[in-house]
Amino acid sequence: MSEHVTITNANFEPEVLKSTLPVLLDFWAPWCGPCKMVGPVIEELATEYKDRLKVGKVNVDEEGDLATRHSVVSIPTLVVYKDGEIANLSAGALPRRKIVELFQDFI
């Protein structure tokens, strides 16, 4: 079972902005090669950090509004939220240790 939450425009506020945990958002699409490379790592991190970090996935094809609001121009884009604010972000496929570096100071 996956530990991530599918983030939509409808649940963005309660799941991300009002989350008591830091949130790692993965903006992705099913046709994106680099997203497919990063996806399994994101799933591992969702399980490994499940009590300290919420992991959300945003399908940019289905949630174009959220992608636009976050100025996503390339995917994958990873955005870290802490206390309802963007705390860190990165575009492009990253190795596991770099993804962890994005959120480790906030957990």
CATH code of the domain covering residue 59: 3.40.30.10
Candidate list 7, 16, 25, 35, residue with the active-site label: 35
Does the annotation count 33 as an active-site position? Answer: no
Residues 82/28, Cβ–Cβ less than 8 Å: no
The pTM assigned to this predicted structure is 0.95
> What is the mean predicted confidence (pLDDT) over 73-98?
97
Listed residue (61, 107, 104) closest to 83, CA to CA: 107
Distances from the Cα of 79 to the Cαs of 1, 45, 58, 84, in angstroms? Answer: 23, 14, 11, 12
pLDDT grade for 30, boundaries at 50, 70 and 90: very high
pLDDT grade for 2, boundaries at 50, 70 and 90: low
For residue 43, give its domain range: 5-106
pLDDT grade for 3, boundaries at 50, 70 and 90: confident
Check residue 56 and report its DSSP letter: E
Candidate list 16, 32, 58, 66, residue with the active-site label: 32
At residue 105, does pLDDT exceed 70? yes
Both tokens assigned to 48: 């490994």
Q: What is the pLDDT of residue 28?
A: 98
- Report how many domains make up the chain: 1
